[in-house]
C-alpha cells in the first residue's frame, strides 16, 4: 500500500486532535466535510465519508440479495446462471409486496380492509357514509 501523506498528531487534555492539512488534502477531504469515525479490528482509527459507507452498504446488500437468489435457485433445482437478470430493487419490492399481502390476508380473513369501490376508503358496512363524506355531503 502506497502512503500518500504522513504527519504527527497530538491529543490534547480534552482528547481532541487536529489532522494536518497535508493529510486531509491527500485524502481528498475538503473543509467542512462530514466524516464518520470508527476503530477497526486492529485498533486503528478510521475516518470515512458517509457517502462511501452508504455505497459499501448498498454493495453488501446487493451481494447478499444475489447470493440468496443463487442459493434459492440452487435449492429449487434451477440453474442460477439461467435466472433472468432483473433489477434487485424490483425483486425486493415484489418480495415486500407479497409479504404485505400475506400479512393483510392473515389479519383480515374476510378480505381487504379497503373498499375499492369507495376510492380506497376504509370498508364501511353500510357503504354510504364514507362516500357521502368524500362527496362533501357530510355523514349519512
Q: What is the DSSP string of 18-58?
A: ---HHHHHHTT--TT---EEEE-TTS-EEEE-HHHHHHHHH
Q: What would the pLDDT profile of 89-135 be if each residue is shown by its tens digit? A: 667 777 887 787 777 666 554 444 444 444 444 444 444 444 444 44
Q: Average pLDDT for residues 42-65, to the nearest whole number? A: 87
The boundaries of every CATH 2.10.260.10 domain in the chain are: 7-48
Q: Average pLDDT for residues 48-59, to the nearest whole number? A: 86
Q: Which three cell numbers stand for residue 96?
A: 415486500
Q: 39 - beta bridge partners?
A: 45
Tell me the C-alpha distance between 90 and 119, whole Å: 26
**What's residue 5's pLDDT?**
87
**Chain centre distance of CA 125:** 39
CATH architecture of 7-48: Ribbon (2.10)
Q: What is the chain's mean pLDDT, rounded? A: 73
Q: Which three cell numbers stand for residue 131?
A: 362516500
Q: What would the pLDDT profile of 12-25 be if each residue is shown by its tens digit? A: 999 999 999 999 99
Read off the pTM: 0.42
Amino acid at each position: 500500500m502506497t502512503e500518500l501523506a504522513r504527519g504527527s498528531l497530538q491529543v490534547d487534555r480534552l482528547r481532541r486532535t487536529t489532522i494536518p492539512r497535508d493529510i486531509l488534502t491527500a485524502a481528498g477531504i475538503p473543509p467542512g466535510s462530514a466524516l464518520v469515525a470508527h476503530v477497526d479490528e486492529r485498533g486503528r482509527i478510521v475516518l470515512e465519508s458517509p457517502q462511501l459507507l452508504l455505497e459499501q452498504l448498498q454493495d453488501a446488500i446487493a451481494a447478499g440479495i444475489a447470493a440468496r437468489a443463487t442459493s434459492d435457485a440452487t435449492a429449487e433445482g434451477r440453474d442460477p446462471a439461467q435466472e433472468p437478470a432483473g433489477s434487485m430493487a424490483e425483486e425486493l419490492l415484489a418480495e415486500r409486496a407479497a409479504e404485505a399481502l400475506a400479512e393483510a390476508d392473515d389479519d383480515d380473513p374476510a378480505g381487504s380492509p379497503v373498499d375499492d369501490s369507495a376510492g380506497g376508503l376504509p370498508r364501511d358496512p353500510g357503504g354510504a357514509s364514507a362516500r357521502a363524506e368524500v362527496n362533501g355531503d357530510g355523514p349519512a
